[in-house]
Every structure is written in C-alpha cells, then in structure tokens.
Amino acid sequence: MAKKSKNKKPQQSGGTPATVALTAAGVDHTVHAYDHDPSHPSYGEEAAEAMGVSPERVFKTLVADVDGTLTVAVVPVAGSLDLKALAAAVGGKRAAMADPVLAERTTGYVRGGISPLGQRKKLPTVLDDSATAHGTICVSAGRRGLEVELSPADLAQLTQAVLAPIGRG
C-alpha cells in the first residue's frame, strides 16, 4: 500500500536529493512511499501497481550515452526508450544505454532509484512528450520504493528537459 505525503514545507533532514531539490524550488509535489519488493521484475511497474496509478503516468529514468555524453531519458514505464529518437532529440547521432555503474556514480542514485531530479552531476535531459497528456506524472524520488508526483511542466523546467517523442509503446 502506498503512503502519501504532501511536501510543501521546507524539507527536514532525511529527504533525498530529489525531494530536497523540489522543496527548495517551491514546487508542488506529492511523495509516494511503498514497500519495494526486490523480486519484482520491473521497478516502474512495481511502483505503478503499489500506488494504484496507470503505468502511462509513471515514468522511468534511464541514462544513455549519446555520442559520448551521458543523457537522461524519462519515459513511461509502460513502454521502452527509442535510442535513435533520444539521439535526435539532443542533436546526436548514436545512443546506447550507459554502463549502470557509471550511471549510478554520475547521478548519485542506485539503479531502480535514479531520479531525474537532484542528480550529483547535471545531465542533459529529455522527457517523453506523452507526459504532457497528464496533469501529473510520477518519477523516482531517489530511491527504490519512493516516487514523487508532480506536473510534467515543473519536471521539464527543473531539469531543463527537452520534450520529444522518445518512448515506444
């Protein structure tokens, strides 16, 4: 069962870098916590099920290498990432999934808990344009079992994301 908490006040210690960044920016958001099951085959689908949210509104954060530059892709958990479309969205030629260890070290988050917000190093970010069809979407809040719900416009603004059709259904 997911637990909800509105976070509009200054974050106390114990927040993730993502929730701290949201609070510092004064962005309206809701944190959803749930008990993570390590045996579940998909972090994103597990989050959608635990929160009772449509998988089209839950977005996963993936890190890819586009022509030698680590780039963040945020796509619905119900689909997959189109690497060619991601490369095109940032003016690149080739994209491949980044080495997971490098992605973790660069973002400061663990796989399955990588958030597009509050990363250790600011990376170019592309948000799948399907996000704009929803009033709010959910992305990782920086650890497995913790999601944050916010408007796609706020996410795009905070991450300086490019909106592009990078997801495949």
Given a cut of 50, is residue 7 above it in pLDDT? Answer: no
Q: Which has the minimum average pLDDT: 43-47, 85-89, 137-141? A: 43-47
Closest CA to 82 of 69, 100, 64: 64
Percent of the chain whose predicted confidence (pLDDT) is above 70: 92
- pTM of this structure: 0.89
The pLDDT tens digits of the residues spanning 65-108 come to 999 999 999 999 999 999 999 999 999 999 999 999 999 999 99
- At residue 14, the pLDDT reads 58
DSSP alpha helices (H): ranges in 9-140? 17-25, 43-51, 83-89, 100-107
Residue carrying structure tokens 């079992």: 145
Residue 17's SS3 state is helix
The pLDDT tens digits of the residues spanning 11-34 come to 344 589 999 999 999 999 999 999
